[in-house]
Amino acid sequence: MNIQHNSKLKISLNNLDTITQNTLKFFFKSKLCEKAELFINDDNANVLIIDLDRHYNKEIIPNLKKNNQYVIFLHNEMNTPISEENTYNVTKPVQVKYLKQQISFISQRINDTEKDDIVSGKENTKSITTTAKHVHSKPSSQPFGLINNKSDTQNFKNNHLDMALKKSTESSTLNQYKAHKHVGSNRDINPDNPEELKKIYHNPKKYLYHHLVQAVKLGKNNKTDILIKTLFGNLYFDYNSQNILHSFNKAKMRYFRSSPLFIETKIVKNSLSEKSKKEYTISQNAESLIWQSAINASKGRVPLGTSLTQTIEMTSWPNFSRLLIFRYVIQIAAAWSTHHMSLLDTASQLKIPQRYIFTLYNAMLAIESANINNVINNTTKLNSDKRKSVFSKILSHIFNH
């Protein structure tokens, strides 16, 4: 391997799925084009990015050190990372921050090696010993060039790429999956740890969605309109149109949906003339507003007292084609629609972070399409269909096109 000083790092994406590949291409093009040159399936590159969970050329590994080459493995949390010399690991969902960090490490290694070679007048005979580093390790020193400054790294935080590099595929074309925004950032909790347990509960009464739910229930039961009085102004449930009327602009509404400011809310039966209703400037479908508000309030949490171990009863499918949805929503709902499973069990059987499951449950509970009222408790184990790999290809296909 001949690396010229100051030349671009050659990075190859080896046998990644199309979406990850395209996303990384975009990432390199927009962020690293001056530092790195990108190749596809080139075993001779300086750095190979390989999906550990997919088929790859295992013969490369023993020769890495000899060739002064490096591998970054993208791997599933469940999969044990490879700890060979010159290998690095990044867990999926891939966070760009970490990927960048690993590339920085490597370029520094390569740079150091070159300097050593130049000093000692050798040609690539010396390689440095590196032990596999896991993504959560901190860089020991600021590596050259790649991370220009702190804010550059931070810019990635809310970037769609953070999201787009999920698990192995995430399509930016499948715009309805704007998951990162919707499920918060809670890590999976250990239910036996009371401190951790606290983090996944919220008090619905503090949030707007709870009062909207109550208003709609009262309105439907009595076939009347309902006035919803909050400290910040009124909202109105119009029974006939099944719409919520209000005059909050978008930014305010976004803030209200997710803020615990509504404990002082009152709901009362009401009937305004059509003319007075017009004074409200905005009218939104009640169900979709409740749905979205319940997601925004949840951020990976469920109502206080929700059992994590009793089975969920799903009573109907939400109208997902017309509601805000995020990653894994269909998969989780499909599991609940065919099997009795608890919240924790869903997360572990599907290998999906708990916050996705909790957020979806909170929203489905709010629109009354799921609950944990009846103790069924005969949890069923999910089996795999023998056509799983074809199904997986069909899904990739429809997300890609």
Residues interacting with another protein, by CB under 8 A? Answer: 17-18, 167-169, 176, 314-317, 319-322, 330-340, 349-351, 382-385, 387-388, 390-399, 401
Question: What is the closest distance, in whole angstroms, from the C-beta atom of residue 26 to another protein in the complex?
Answer: 19
Q: Which is nearer to another protein, 278 or 393 (CB)?
A: 393
User: Of 101 and 168, which CB lies nearer to another protein in the complex structure?
Assistant: 168
Least distance (Å) between residue 388 CB and another protein = 6
Beta-sheet pairing, 233-238 with 225-230? antiparallel
CB of 174 to another protein, least distance (A): 8
DSSP string, 99-123: HHHHHHHHHHHHHHHHHHHHHHT-S
Closer residue to another protein, CB minimum distance, 159 or 369: 369
Q: In three state form, how does the secondary structure of 227-275 look?
A: EEEECCEEEEEECCCCEEEECCCHHHHHHHHHCCCCCCCEEEEECCCHH
Nearest to residue 47, comparing CAs of 77, 14, 68, 71? Answer: 71
State the Cα–Cα distance between residues 211 and 267, nearest whole angstrom: 8
Q: Which is nearer to another protein, 92 or 257 (CB)?
A: 92
Minimum gap (Å) between residue 339 Cβ and another protein: 7
Q: Report residue 230: phi and psi, to 5°.
A: -115, 170
* Closer of 14 and 46 to another protein (Cβ): 14
Closer by beta carbon to another protein, 250 or else 401 = 401
Beta carbons within 10 angstroms of residue 281's beta carbon: 10
Q: DSSP character for 340?
A: -
Distance CA 241, CA 143 (A): 60
Give strand pairing partners of 380: none
* Nearest alpha carbon to residue 163 among 52, 361, 326, 392: 326
Taking the complex as a whole, how short is the minimal distance between the CB of residue 64 and another protein, in angstroms?
28
Shortest distance, CB of residue 398 to another protein, whole angstroms? 4
Edge-to-edge strands, sheet with 225-230: 266-270, 225-230, 233-238, 243-246, 282-285
- The closest alpha carbon to 326, from 301, 356, 354, belongs to 356
Closest CA to 84 of 69, 96, 103: 69
Find all residues with CB under 8 Å of 159, minimum gap 6, and list them.
Answer: 96
Q: What is the DSSP letter of 77?
A: T
- Work out how close the CB of 322 gets to another protein at its nearest, in angstroms, rounded to a whole number: 6
Residue 179 CB, shortest distance to another protein, in Å, is 14
As a whole number of angstroms, the distance between CA 180 and CA 278 comes to: 36
Contact 234, 287 (CB under 8 A): no
Cβ proximity to another protein: between 140 and 321 the closer is 321
- Which CB sits closer to another protein, 30 or 241? 241
Residue 314 C-beta: closest distance to another protein, Å: 5
Residue (208 or 367) nearer to another protein, CB: 367
* Least distance (Å) between residue 376 CB and another protein: 10
> Which residue, 36 or 363, is less far from another protein as judged by CB?
363
State how far the Cα of 271 lies from the Cα of 200, in Å rounded to an integer.
39
